[in-house]
Amino acid sequence: MYRCGLLTPEKEPVPLKSIEVELQVRDHVATVVSTLSYDNKEDKPIEAVFVFPLPGDAAVCHFSATVGQTQIVAEVKEKQQAREEYDDALSSGQQAFLLEESDQSPDIFSLSVGSLPPGESASIRLEYVTELAVQADDGLRFCLPAVLNPRYQPRGSEGPSVEVTSVPASQVPYTLSFSARLSSPRPISKVESSSSLDPLQFLNAEQTQATVKLAAGHKFDRDVELLVYYKDAHQPSAVVEAGQASAEPGSLMGDPVVMVSLYPDFPQTVMSSVASCGEFVFVLDRSGSMDCAVNNTNPEQTRIANARDTLLLLLKSLPMGCYFNIYGFGSTFEHIFPESVEYSEKTMEEALKKVEGMQADLGGTEILQPLKHIYNQPCVPNQPRQLFVFTDGEVWNNKEILHLVKENASSHRCFSFGIGEGASSALINGLAKEGGGHAQFITGADRMQTKVLQSLRFALQPAVVDISVTWDLPKGVSATVLSPPITAIFHGQRSLVYAQLTGQSSEAAEGCVTVKYSLAGHPSQSQVKFSLKAVDTGLTVHRLGARSLIRSLEIQEKENGEKPEEVKKRVVELSVQSGVSSAYTAFVAVNKGNNETIQGPLVRRNVPAPRMMMMACSARRMPMKMCGRAVLGGPCNRAAPLMAMCDIAPPKGNYFGIETDSVRAAEPPQPKQPCKDPFLQLVSLQKASGCWLLDSALAAALGKTSEEVEKPKPAPVSQDVWATVLALIWLHGFKMDIKEEWELLAMKSVCWLRAQNAPCVKECLEAANMLLGCSVQEASLGL
């Protein structure tokens, strides 16, 4: 029936032809312009609806459409008003365009192109600004989300979900082109990506400006991730951006706005000491989607298997004297111990046995209940509680979860890890931001172990308390802070502060912002001095400041007991004034220049978003709503025979009418394969105290026979000292490329060796180097 144009694998027409993305990075802020090209090849007018992800903290600031020679620029309006204007335009035969943020999750948007006539083309321009998150290795991370995996919505949770049409990522019919321009006051040292890039092209001799783009042949089958590294990245800075000339003085957009970047530098004496206390609660997603591969290049390595290996390293790296527990969650949740237990050889071994048997067999992704259970447990006195949450992030009730985390942030620090393509940036970043921790994303060929151990080092830093921000400004100038209060500070990690500057000063005037805090019982501070001379940078800082304030207001109603109507009114005013999207507003554009009405019934075409997983229909579908129109899904019974055959309960939630993870639970768990990696074999043999035992298992991990490892041992040295030295020499000799993964457990071993006051250490080192074919020096071990 449809002979031309793009088709899905099910032969449905797709009006979206291509997406072109231009990224501009200025230091640690990014401006992203996406151009979506639509083409109606059918013989009837259509409404094209595209539901897609954006970074959770993005500030959408421009939306326009070009049809023929006519450009229509959208306005930000209260959401219901925007929807009504859009619907009214379609009813009267006018072209209209609507862009709105999901009520439930700020990283999902819906774009509706209404009344596109037969044979007509339209070009949609979408612009947003976003901060670049700092990774533990100092890289600045930009992610262009391409994959929109179904989001799990627990039964009974608040609000309707969104209708999403998706296809496997490899079968997306439209194309993506992507290019980036980078500029910074400091030289750009390198750019890395999970996708293939053309070589980095520097634009000046100082290497402070460069361009890069995706290599030809890129498939739209994954999120596009860029990691930008600068030389001397840890430099505090501030930029004062001039206000909008047309805006009213005294308003947010009319006044200058300052963005301050702070990089606290803790004393070396603090950083060299590892905390020996803390309560560590590891919360692992065991939903069915965790059985998927971490990346396309190695389909055998599943997310759950990677998480098991990571938990092994975490448990071996914990300090003696701390407390810990492990939770697994899906539609239900489990915990290894009824309450957190003291870390010892006995409890570590018991936990490791349970970890070995962990499978992705707990159904759907319901993270709210295990978090509530953890927060209701009394904290261990003098042991700061730290949560490590591992999830592929495919949940719909983000706002409920983040509100709960924020409520408990004073007693619980939260570190979050997004696993695989399509993990919700709003959830992963939100957990860390509201929980005073640090977020990491594991995609492509990333090693989960490296990133998680980086975060463990942050967790072992002393907790920073009594944080305050003070401003020293010329007389007549005042600062109104737009950012939420700083709740966490880590060594070398950036803290951002936005503030509106009101009042007049000379161009030569200077200001200063100081962040004071208490570190390990000692008062400390970080400060930045800056010129008050405002520069024109295209309102990027204003929009990010407005977005920060909007996000704070959106969660204020529950915290401060404010009435929802009052909060909504303030958010709508700020959103309309700044031109930045919010949960309560939408962009709407109506083509009023063309007097011709579009004839014929309007046909809806859902543009498919790429997803990573093939899923069948669920046994039931829930009512869904988007753009003011309800879409009811009929029953589908394809999953019912599987449920009956396997005698499992129906799924507890729905994935937009797609199979829930519960169906996967019907599959019998696969037995864990023996550990083949010598590194993980060696780590698994370490005792909680930090030592190793001299036995055949250690010899096998080192690639030797028992006789080969026992014979060279110096006579006065005990077997466990010799075994521990051997293990440390092997790690330093063969695994320096992943040092971050074993550095903490090696430090524990060195502390144990020092406590033994063992004789003949030099002879031990020489014999171990000789046996293993290494040349590791005593100083390298820290002995």
Judged on CB neighbours under 10 Å (0-12, 13-18, 19+), 583 is buried
Which residues, listed in sequence order, are joined to residue 623 by a DSSP beta bridge? none
Adjacency order of strands within the sheet including 133-134: 133-134, 140-144, 224-230, 188-193
Q: What percent of the chain has pLDDT over 90?
A: 53
Same fold, 243-269+464-534 and 276-460: no
What pLDDT does residue 346 have? 96
From its phi and psi, is residue 395 left (phi > 0), alpha (psi between -120 and 50) or beta? beta
- CA gap 410, 666 in Å, rounded: 40
Task: Check residues 668 and 61 and name the one with the higher pLDDT.
Answer: 61
Q: Which residues of 101-136 are buried (b: 16+ CB within 10 A; e: fewer)?
A: bbbbbbbbbbbbbbbbbeebbbbbbbbbbbbbbbbb
For the structural domain made of 243-269+464-534, what CATH number should be given? 2.60.40.1230
Number of other CB atoms surrounding residue 628 within 10 Å: 13
Encoding tokens for residue 290?
A: 């965790």
28 neighbors 185 (Cβ within 8 angstroms): no
Supply the pLDDT for residue 222: 81
158 falls in which pLDDT band (50, 70, 90)? low
Arithmetic mean of pLDDT, 539-551: 94
What CATH homologous superfamily does 6-151+165-232+580-590 map to?
A: tricorn interacting facor f3 domain (2.60.40.1730)
d(CA 731, CA 737): 10
**Per-residue confidence (pLDDT) for residue 153, from 0 to 100:** 64
- pLDDT per position as a tens digit, 469-500: 999 999 999 999 999 888 888 877 888 899 99
Label residues 150-189 b or e (16+ Cβ within 10 Å = b).
Answer: bbbbbeebeebbbbbbbbebeebbbebebebbbebeebbe
Provide the pLDDT for residue 631: 29
- pLDDT score, position 531: 92
| Whole-number Å distance between alpha carbons of 722 and 693 | 9
Spell out the alpha helix ranges (H) of 144-190. Answer: none
C-alpha radius of gyration, the chain, whole number: 28
Domain boundaries, the chain: 6-151+165-232+580-590, 243-269+464-534, 276-460, 619-668, 678-781
The amino acid present at 333, given as its one-letter code, is: F
What pLDDT is stored for residue 9 in this prediction? 66
Beta-carbon contacts of residue 308 (< 8 Å; ≥ 6 apart)? 355, 356, 358, 672
**Residues 645-674: what's their mean pLDDT?**
38
As a whole number, mean pLDDT of residues 515-542 equals 89
Poorest-confidence range of 79-83, 111-115, 168-172, 583-587? 168-172
* Average pLDDT score over residue span 80-108: 91
CA distances from 135 to 450, 486, 493, 534 (A): 12, 18, 8, 30
pLDDT bucket at 561, cuts 50 / 70 / 90: low
DSSP state of 454: H
pLDDT-derived band at 661 (thresholds 50, 70, 90) equals very low
pLDDT score, position 220: 75
708 vs 340: CA distance, rounded Å: 41
CA separation for the pair 512, 230 (Å, rounded): 25
Alpha helices by DSSP H, listed for 615-738, are: 640-646, 661-664, 678-684, 696-701, 706-710, 719-734
Could you give the 3-state DSSP secondary structure of residue 726? helix
Task: Say if residue 650's pLDDT is above 80.
Answer: no
Look at residue 185 and tell me whether its pLDDT is greater than 60.
Answer: yes
Q: What is the mean pLDDT of residues 169-173?
A: 84
* pLDDT at res. 74: 96
* pLDDT for position 147: 81
Task: Quickly state the pLDDT bin for 63 (edges 50, 70, 90).
Answer: very high
pLDDT at 562: 63
Does residue 629 register a pLDDT over 50? no
Q: How far is CA 692 from the centre of its chain?
A: 36
Angle (nearest 5°) at CA 508 between 24 and 27: 15
Average pLDDT over residues 299-317: 90
Cβ neighbour number for residue 78 with a 10 Å cutoff:
19
Angle between helices 564-578 and 540-554 (to 10 degrees): 170
Residue 749 has pLDDT above 90, yes or no: yes
Q: Three-class SS of residue 235? A: coil
Residues whose CB is less than 8 angstroms from the CB of residue 99 and which lie 6 or more positions away in sequence, other chains included: 60, 63, 74, 109, 110, 111, 112, 126, 581, 586, 587, 588
Contact yes or no for 304/359 (Cβ under 8 A):
yes
Pairing type for strands 279-285 and 257-262 reads unpaired
Would residue 278 be called left, alpha or beta, if left means φ above 0 and alpha means ψ between -120 and 50 degrees?
left
628 versus 176: the higher-pLDDT residue is 176
Q: Write down the pLDDT at residue 718.
A: 93
Q: Counting Cβ atoms within 10 Å, is residue 35 exposed (0-12), middle (13-18) or buried (19+)?
A: middle
Q: pLDDT: is 554 or 733 the higher one?
A: 733
Q: How far apart are CA 751 and CA 693, in angstroms?
A: 16
b/e string for 597-617 if b means 16 or more Cβ within 10 A? ebeeeeeebbbbbbbbbebeb
Q: Choose between 636 and 343: higher pLDDT.
A: 343
d(CA 521, CA 541): 35
pLDDT digit string, tens, across residues 234-254: 788 899 999 998 898 889 999
Largest CA distance in the chain: 98
Q: What mean pLDDT is predicted for residues 670-698?
A: 84
Residues ≥6 apart with Cβ < 8 Å to 713: 694, 719, 722, 767
Residue 337 has a pLDDT of 97
pLDDT band at 221 (very low <50, low <70, confident <90, very high): confident
Q: Read off φ and ψ for residue 675, nearest 5 degrees.
A: -70, 120
Model pLDDT for residues 421-468, shown as the tens digit of each residue: 888 888 999 999 999 899 999 887 788 899 999 899 888 887 788 999
d(CA 293, CA 645): 27
Residue among 69, 101, 104, 74 at smallest CA distance from 86 = 74
Mean pLDDT, residues 672-690 taken together? 83
Residue 260: pLDDT above 60?
A: yes
> Dihedrals φ, ψ of 637, to 5°?
-105, 15
Mean pLDDT of the chain, nearest integer: 84
The pLDDT of residue 548 = 93
Q: Span 520-527, mean pLDDT?
A: 84
Nearest-5° angle of CA 379, CA 382, CA 388?
A: 55
Return the minimum-mean-pLDDT range out of 96-105, 252-261, 665-674, 747-756: 665-674
Please give the pLDDT value at position 556.
Answer: 63
276-460 CATH fold = Rossmann fold (3.40.50)
Residue 636 has pLDDT above 50, yes or no: no
Region 268-289: what's the mean pLDDT? Answer: 80
Contacts of 610 (CB under 8 A, 6+ apart): 146, 147, 148, 166, 167, 168, 169, 172, 220, 221
Q: Which residue has the tokens 């989607």?
A: 289
pLDDT for res 4: 46
Measured between alpha carbons, how far is 395 from 446 in angstroms, rounded to an integer? 23
Q: Assess contact for 229 and 527: CB atoms under 8 A.
A: no
Task: Return the pLDDT at 664.
Answer: 38
At 170, is the secondary structure helix, strand, or coil? Answer: helix
pLDDT of residue 189: 94
